[in-house]
Structure 1
């Protein structure tokens, strides 16, 4: 199954990774071709991904949903270069990452991929500004404090640069994480249950920021979530079941998304076995 979204928006130049070709800003942000991921061998093998073909255009917001064990986490890890597929290829910003060595792959993730996690993953000993600039520091780039100030203002944290994460609310900490993801103008931002630890009102504020990053800043967001209300903020929702794509829904309401999810109960007789 091959799914394509609407026309993507160009997002300008991206930082290049040493010894790799620069991103193709005219092509898709993410492309998976025949991606499979198997854990273990023989009769006990788990086929977490059973052959994913997918193209995600730039400047779009995609939510990925599925029942527990459908392969959502494995999909995100393979697409983001955090895990290696057993077969197939992954392209980020026009660069194939499947066969990259770990050093080059780490460099690419630092400069061309942004991450937002449920647990925020901020360093408590650093200030807000230092946390935001950390990807640039790790990538060996000049730490642009003016850009950090601008990005913090975009996520509603103007004046908070000198604070420590512990002085902020959960919603404010997630805003810092979004600013950190935006700082390098990445090819794609991967968000893993970004609202899972937030109350309903704060979750809506964070999702509004991700939506704003796509609509106004030209960012590309891929979000794994279990929450139909969160997925309703996306341009397109992709559904996974038993490690395979099981359909898509464009601009769906929370009710329509929830109904589609209810129809995707895990199939015990699936040949793919349990996914993770």
Structure 2
């Protein structure tokens, strides 16, 4: 699993060798403004970022620093006012909505705080949903393998309402892995979980990076969650103000305290 042999199709229909492409995520001069004139809100004030494949990056910052806007622009869920975004070697900034939707379904994975599972579908059907939406053959053997990786091999026929919160988030991770995406974007994936269950979920994301070669970009407010990442990026006022490699929860918390105490750290940007 996770071997990208052969070629695949770009958004314009041309074949590409995804294994030979460059960084997983690349943002150049990305700005995002809401509104105009004196009342404009500068949510992102010029982001330059390159994330290698097979890396786990956490993004943190004070409330209003631009974390959610960053994630939305990086994942193609929102369009920057200026700059360019490349995912898995593909420039997405000028893509039409249909092409963007297809790219998100087939080449990106998403894990949200609220799980976002469909209650009427079984666990297996939820996991296979991205393949179904992308028009791909629904591979039940692959679904079984991914569910086994997240410790839910015996839950395939259950519905989300029969599972605990931690189990539902495991289903969400399996769903994110099923298409072998270029990038998994996680938005506060442990926000609704207790400490023990959160550690289990973060361990699965860490395992996906270390063993499967996945690339994970996670927005979180929790220093303990960020400590699982290879690198923590700190946002303030819509721009990256600091970074920390392989930091402990204590060191990450101390850096966050410095950002929060900065004059103006809570102004001029929107989360």
TM-score by length of 1: 0.93
**Residue 151 of structure 1: aligned partner:** 146
1:220 aligns with 2:215: yes
- Runs of 5+ consecutive residues of structure 2 not aligned to the other structure: none
Q: Is the 8 A contact 2:209 2:216 kept in 1?
A: yes
Q: Is the 8 A contact 2:60 2:220 kept in 1?
A: yes
**Residue 54 of structure 2: aligned partner:** 59
Task: Indicate the RMSD between aligned Cα atoms, in angstroms.
Answer: 1.7
Q: CA deviation at 1:23?
A: 6.2
Inter-CA distance 156–16: structure 2 relative to 1 (3 Å threshold): farther
Q: Is the 8 A contact 2:61 2:236 kept in 1?
A: yes
- Runs of 5+ consecutive residues of structure 1 not aligned to the other structure: 1-9
Secondary structure at 2:19 match in 1: coil
Q: Is the 8 A contact 2:223 2:253 kept in 1?
A: yes
Q: Distance in 2 between matches of 1:112 and 1:23?
A: 13
**Residue 19 of structure 2: aligned partner:** 25
Q: CA deviation at 1:167?
A: 0.4
Q: Distance in 2 between matches of 1:174 and 1:116?
A: 8
Pick the aligned partner of 2:224 from 223, 229, 232.
229
The range that moved more, 13-22 or 200-209, is 13-22
Secondary structure at 1:264 match in 2: helix
Q: Is the 8 A contact 1:46 1:272 kept in 2?
A: no
Q: CA deviation at 1:62?
A: 0.3
Q: Distance in 2 between matches of 1:208 and 1:160?
A: 20
Inter-CA distance 272–68: structure 2 relative to 1 (3 Å threshold): closer
TM-score by length of 2: 0.95
Q: Is the 8 A contact 1:111 1:139 kept in 2?
A: yes
Q: Distance in 1 between matches of 2:161 and 2:8?
A: 31
Q: CA deviation at 1:137?
A: 0.2
Inter-CA distance 73–258: structure 2 relative to 1 (3 Å threshold): same
Deviations 1:107-140 (A, max 9, x none): 0000000000000000000000000000000000
Q: Distance in 1 between matches of 2:18 and 2:267?
A: 34
Q: CA deviation at 1:24?
A: 3.6
